[in-house]
Structure 1
Amino acid sequence: MTDWMPMAAVTLFVGFLLGTFWASRRRVVSKKTWQAYLSNLYSPKAMIGMEDGRILFANRGFVRLFNVETVNGQLEFKGTKDKSTFDTLLRYRRWPLPFIDVTADFRAASNRNAPRYARFSGLPVWCSGQRAWIISLEPESESVYSEPFANNDNHIFRSVINSLAELVCFQDRDGRIVGTNNAFDRFWKGREEEGLFFNAQDNFDSRRTQQSWTTTPAGDSCLLETSQTVLRDNDNRIYGTLSISHDVTNWHMMQEVLEQEIEARQEVEQRLKQHSNVLTSIFEASVDPIGIYNSSYVFLGGNAAFAEAMGAPHDNLEGQQAADLMDPDVLADHQRVDIPVLKDGKTIKYEDLVMKRDGSQVWYELTKTQFRDPTDDTLGVLVIARDVTARKATQQELADAIMELEELSFVDGLTKVANRRSFDEQLVKMWHSHIREQEPLSLILCDIDFFKPYNDNYGHQQGDKALRMVAEVFLDVIRRPLDAVARYGGEEFAILLPNTSEEGAVYVAEKISEALARANIEHEFSSVSTRLSLSQGVATILPVQGQDYGDLVLAADKALYRAKRAGRNRIASTNLVVDLV
């Protein structure tokens, strides 16, 4: 009996070693497999080695969110701040214990004042025989990794900014130019950096204005007035700035002329009288409100536009008391603003909303400057106003357009695949690229069979769950980076397959049907199966110049109709119908 015991012990030991080896191999997933999985995810994901903290792989969302570059074939953080942040966050994590919902403050390497808030979590994995973390970043708001100034040809956004004569420039929170209008491009062509009057290191809360002398493309001197507004997301965090510049050279020259005339009056009263006609002509000819009143608020002069802007009932203001002509609340506001002008000699510039005599409202930009009357040495205020109603309306239109752009999403909220808008944009891009490359482009339109009875009998909550499960089946089958899955309608999905023949597209459709069958989603109210099934229409076109990309959608839609007419739970293409029953 003792003769076979050593042999049995050896056999058990060898079996134990083989079992251990087999189990460890089952735990190891190749790096290529992880890359294929992570590259299809929208949110920022990265695989980071547990031992040395190296970035083994990062998807596009992660690369876009952080300054990641490739150095000698190795992904590295471009900024030391991000690298230090990740090292700190992972240093005290015990592998293989997962962690989640750790809020981190990520800052751009080029601007330490621009926070990036995200929920930071990690999943321990084996990758090609080494321990690693799958790092996931879920933003507290879409602005963390969205691109609000992306050049997406949005009609509203482009039509508004390109119709402006003002120079419009969008900068991200790092100070980089991410969008301009045609006027900006024409004016600053070849010298764009001169058009940036503010940088990422500047600190301001909401809005500021600056005047700068420069030269036009023709070489003439030009005074630009630039207003920059901070753009904030729903969490009140800064994600960019909007700058609007316009030429105020003529207006500035007029202001200088008026100030020179006032200085001349201080020197000699007689000279002031000689120039009074000139001033009167300027007042009357100007469409901008111009007026003068002393510290006792007696009007010394002003044009009709100024009288209307001040709320006076008539145009002849000279010698009139402001208290007799203006609303008490309006006068009190002017007196409050005029204190630093009269007391300290400061020049004050601000915007004010004025109700005109006809009941309409006008936005004015007022500039108030101190002057001293040489006849009695009393102080007064010179007011020059400019109608900026159109500019304010344009700013509001821009703000509305930006808000609309922020609300637009490229991802379907229920299924987490691309939405119809994203599908349309990708179809246009692929269509033109395939014209250049002369490669076939395939489209599969999929419709869930008898989905209305499913919703009516199982309930809409279960119907939403079924839609998400079907979307997961698509994402499980569609693996190539350039392939696109989108929710096309209520229960209809679209799959774009670049560089794919009709035979290849039919093969993909068959794999989808097989994967859905394995998902085994119960549907007792279907007329073709006891499980949820699909009807699929496949179309393939080799695009040529001048052909409309809508032809591909139309062909796929007709094929889908053929599949439904043939009894559903089928795949139909231009040349065949595949029965999946």
Structure 2
Amino acid sequence: MIEWLPLAALVLLVGFLMGMVWVSYRRVMSMKTWQLYLANLHSPKAIINHKDGSILYANRSFVRLFNVEASGHKFHIRGEREQQTFEALLASRCWPHPFVEMTGDFRAVSDHRTPRHARFSGLPVWCGGQRVWIVSLEPKSEAVYSEPFADNDSQIFRSVINSLSELVCFQDKEGRIVGSNLAYDRFWKGREQEGLIFSTDENARGRRTQQSWTTNPNGDSCLLESNQTVLLDDENHVFGTLSISHDVTNWHMMRQSLEQEIEARQEVEQQLKKHSNVLTSIFKASVDPIGIYNKDYEFLGGNAAFAEAMGAQHDELEGENAEDLMEPEVLAQHRKIDVPVLESGDTVKYEDLVMKRDGSMVWYELTKTQFRDPTDETIGVLVIARDVTERKATQQQLADAIMELEELSFVDGLTKVANRRSFDEQLVKMWHSHIREQEPLSLIFCDIDYFKPYNDNYGHQQGDEALRSVADVFQRVIRRPLDAVARYGGEEFAILLPNTTEEGAVVVAQNIADELKAADLPHAYSKVADRLTLSQGIATLYPVAGQDYGDLVSLADRALYGAKHAGRNRVVTSQSMKQAKLSANA
């Protein structure tokens, strides 16, 4: 029997060791198991390495509430002060002793915010072969992080407010921030005191508006328009304020008078009995149409301005269906525009002309963003519109003025034909087009004979009238759409004739001379006739690549000089001058 004792002892030892391993396996959970467990908890939880305090895992609530940057499997608290505070909370803890205590909430980033406290607790566990803390930093009450959105029934309103681009802030009567939306937190991060534009006054009532220049998170200057409404309880006592700010820089730059637009908004003294009424107050505080409808186009809410813009006969849209309020073709247009909003979550901005109840037409700039109900994950569309009728009118006036100015910059003010600038531009265009088409381009330079004596003796006013009469002659003769008549300078005119040979240009020039003769404009001081006459020089080229269009101008100018030199009141072509020169040389 003694011989079996060592064997029995060995069997017992092996069994004991296997039991210890089995117990350890039962007691120690893997990292993946802990992550699956913590991910389904609503309260903020994190797995912390007890040696260096690094975050091994944080669930969604912890990441969202405590500004944690999650990149792959790495987690890091963004704020340096928050990181130091968190490390200090863990520094005095001794693993494996659990702890639970109340501490200040390091999420409070400003002395102007209401003091907050949280329950800080840690559970020591083995996880993946490491000693870790399962840390929970929970608010003392749910309202700490959700006011004024604590009521579960108002999650839809919280989601809508956080989707607004406007900066929304709630203060108690002592001036401390008790709630703000995501846009406000992002804009004023690190400079919250600057964002508190108004101070709370117990005697203040109604609504205040202010415009102020500041810088956005990118460092660019921007003009913020802020509206603050004093909130009153059932006994008409002040219990806080609601402030709404939005960027109006572009409006200010377009027209400074728009700075006063918001000041005309209706005063709002809506009493807030529950936090769920916050969205209603925001809707009613704005003259801009704001509304929400789901993907089935059933209205979930909207202010009076939105109801009027929709053409509804009453202001209560909740529960109404768009098919009962809108024309089929208008609804079809909205459905088409809403496709990227509902399917991809894109933000869509466009302008639309709407008929109001009184029959007046109003231009609205509409911004549509996707709205998702966190309670049942249904999606819809949040619509925010702005009346831009005045802006559209200003834009139209500006466009009309620009067109008129453009027209004046290309037309000679006296004769109402094209000016020198317009002639140069048309010559360049025609030159290049004729290079492609390999067609002839003709130019006629015309000069009124002895116009200076005419001006000196008849007077400048009569001289201006003579220039207008000659321009009218050109307009009567030159009728092809692409032909161009321009006042080249003083009493000199230029006529561009596309796709025209020299022979065709001579016919046009002769028609001009005949028409001017028929006009019978007296000129007693001319040396060639007793009526107003013209000297005309014609040049024709087939433009080729690399050739300068100035060659055509030079040839026509020399032909005009030849007409004057030959005695005026005649038509001379550059080709005839060339032939005459060859004959003279021969």
Place the TM-score, normalised by the shorter chain, in its bin.
0.3 to 0.5
Larger radius of gyration: 2
TM-score normalised by structure 2 residue count:
0.38
